Structure 1
């Protein structure tokens, strides 16, 4: 989709984005509120979403080119972005590209790639020399992936159905449920979506769900389900047989999951709000498979949520304490012989391998079977980590 810019559009977007930067309001919610009050076409909405995300991905670069902060002079930053990318903006004189290129030549690499100083320091601490490659990958625009809902349709059948609607896609090597969407299109307006034949989900996230080897007839708990992307993927793997309990501490996310499950035909999914510690205790030893997709920094999905870079620095200490608490308490829901999948959308070892190592030291009844870091730089997917653990009986002498 070729992006379009004009002064009125960028002015209206600025009214949305300044509060996102200064009040720490999530970008997606701010845009949803804008579209709820303004009558934009589907194409206009998609254009504004892409412009907002492009600005957020490279904000440090555009502010450096404009020599001002966006919250103070948004029009000047938009003009720098437009000149840099060769956009024409009706009724506005843009800065000279040669001059901007001269300024850019003096900037450090992390500023050129839309990375604030605090994140650059943290990335180097966590990943050392490999951070530069990950930073570059996280700066790029995220590809668009969908997951074929095998409860209703195969991946190849879905690809043909989309093509019949004028939507081109390609299969994703190593991820049998995934298609990458190549067309600029209103995907959620398609007949295929309304029929529940697919969900939008990054290929890396689908890879994580596949790592928990659920089977038809299993008792499965997704204890940090959120809006249910991985719950739906697991339900499809269960082929409509068994029980999948999707749990979360936020009721509105579970309500969203219920709507998605109805569209997908995922009748095995039951939702349950975690209202107190008793909710967890009542499920002790009940699960054959347990997914703990824990709250994390989101460092692996920054290209999809670029506004997170410009708000408060990641609260790693607080998040790591929460991750350990969830591992300690929620793991008790797994039956002996069962599989636990610990997962994050982070690429930082302190949230991933280090947490699993800590847990194994605390719980001798668990063993590590396999783990993987999904690198944006290596795969082109969003960044994730997963570790599959098995609970075994502890033999006492």
Structure 2
């Protein structure tokens, strides 16, 4: 591979924004890719994947390069040189790469790779939490898998097409996919591609949604004609899946504390041909109280640490703090206590997170069931999904039923 100066500069500029200004990696990369209209798909892929790679391995590369935060541009070029050297890419004769100790880099990599928190490039505290909650064997496997690039998974919009038809349509547009066993609506891209520019996407034939995330709506056991509440709907990936499972019949109330996210859901629903969704901003306790004892099904896709989806959001591990984890556990239990009251007798509730930590998952459910609010519920089943065993995102989901 030959390095091109303008692409490398884009990467360095992006890393400056992500590491030094706290910008979100996905937003930064979106902006970088608009930088030069002459860039082809390979150029854009280089910028995106290299930026994500260096973000993912920040701690390891910084240790090898012997640089500390905040990183100046020279520091970032040294980290870039580490990335290129470990990838086997020949460094061009640029001033940024003068006196790069190639052999030393490889030696330092071998040496530091013996220590998990450095090998997997994570903060000390995350390594300690993972070790404490999952044990050494499972945590070592899981965090290693979380450092691999995630596959692109599509969810067929069954309101408009079938999985088989969608596969043929995408094939005609030059995108090859394969089915995933145990996932009724999922297609996995064989090679990465920008699916958002396809006619199939613009016509609402699919959404991009990880295979593990697709299990949640299925777990909720919805039927056409039901009243379903998605309490933490966000931009609505699971809401839209629920709508397709309900065949657009019945009512879905999609709620969130952020109006901006619900506006995105409105646009996505229109594209998907979904018309049984009512949007509600949670700006007080009033919208929740109005729905007490009214819902056949309630989904609580709870806010969480996101430690099951680090493959998609590698910068999240640098933004997370131990105090956040303490606060989010309190929020999770509070949400369970409040939102569970929307379930009517004999109705069902799913509590889900994209975390792999028991303290955010099964322990929260156990605490809830022992509480006054949870006394009327029983656990039907739960599912723990780990990236290292499934190949997809880490997730947890529990199905609870309210007694009559």
Scaled by the length of structure 2, the TM-score of the pair is: 0.92
Taking the aligned partners of 2:399 and 2:119, their CA distance within structure 1 comes to 37
* Residue of structure 2 aligned with 1:77, choices 76, 79, 102: 79
1:119 correspondence with 2:118: no
**8 A Cα contact 2:349 2:400, kept in partner:** yes
Quickly say closer, same or farther: Cα 1:76–1:138, change in 2 above 3 A: same
> 2:35 & 2:106 partners in 1: Cα distance?
38
| Residue of 337, 340, 353 corresponding to 1:331 | 340
Aligned-CA RMSD value: 1.8
Retained in 2: the 8 A contact 1:248–1:272? yes
8 Å contact 1:220–1:245 — kept in the other structure? Answer: yes
Cα contact 1:14–1:74 (8 A) shared by 2: yes
Q: Tell me which of 171, 177, 188 is aligned to 2:185.
A: 177
Aligned counterparts of 1:245 and 1:4: Cα–Cα separation in 2: 52
2:377 counterpart (358, 366, 369) = 366
Map of 1:392 onto structure 2 = 403
Q: 2: distance between equivalents of 1:383 and 1:201?
A: 13
Which of 285, 296, 300 is the aligned partner of 1:277? 285
1:42–1:186: 8 Å Cα contact kept in structure 2? no
1:165/1:16 Cα in 2 relative to 1: closer, same or farther (>3 Å)? same
Q: Which residue of 2 aligns with 1:55?
A: 54
Q: Which residue of 1 aligns with 2:390?
A: 379
Worse overlay, 139-148 or 114-123:
114-123
Residues 1-397 of structure 1 correspond to what in structure 2 (within 5 A)? 5-35=3-33, 39=37, 41=39, 43=41, 44-69=43-68, 71-72=71-72, 73-92=75-94, 93=97, 95=100, 97-107=102-112, 108-129=115-136, 130-314=138-322, 315-362=324-371, 363-393=374-404
Gaps of 5+ in 1: none
For the residues of structure 1 that align with 2:16 and 2:261, how far apart are their CA atoms?
27
Cα distance change of structure 1 residues 227 and 141 upon mapping to structure 2, 3 Å threshold = same
The more displaced of 9-18 and 149-158 is: 9-18
Which blocks of at least 5 consecutive residues in structure 2 are unaligned? none
Q: Which moved more, 1:94-103 or 1:206-215?
A: 94-103
Whether the aligned pair in 2 keeps the contact of 1:7 and 1:89 (CA below 8 Å) is: no
Separation in 1 of the partners of 2:162 and 2:81? 46
Structure 1 residue 53: Cα displacement: 1.1
Give 1:135 deviation, angstroms. Answer: 0.8
C-alpha separation in 2, matches of 1:333 and 1:4: 59
Cα drift, residue 19 of structure 1: 3.2
Asked whether the 8 Å contact 1:289–1:338 carries over to 2, the reply is yes
1:271 is displaced (CA, Å) by 1.2
**Higher mean C-alpha displacement, 315-324 vs 38-47:** 38-47
Aligned residue pairs: how many? 391
Asked if structure 2 preserves the Cα contact closer than 8 Å seen for 1:22 and 1:311, the reply is no
Structure 2 vs 1, CA of residues 40 and 390 (structure 1 numbering), >3 Å: closer, same or farther?
farther
Shift in Å, 1:301: 0.3
Scaled by the length of structure 1, the TM-score of the pair is 0.94
**2:10–2:47 CA contact under 8 A, matched in 1:** no
Distance of 1:254 and 1:218 partners within structure 2? 21
The Cα of 1:388 is off from its aligned counterpart by 0.4
Structure 2 CA distance, aligned partners of 1:163 and 1:154? 14
Residues 154-202 of structure 1 show CA distances to partners (whole Å, capped at 9, x for unaligned) of: 1111111111111111101111111110123221111111111110000
Q: 2:247 aligns to what SS in structure 1?
A: coil
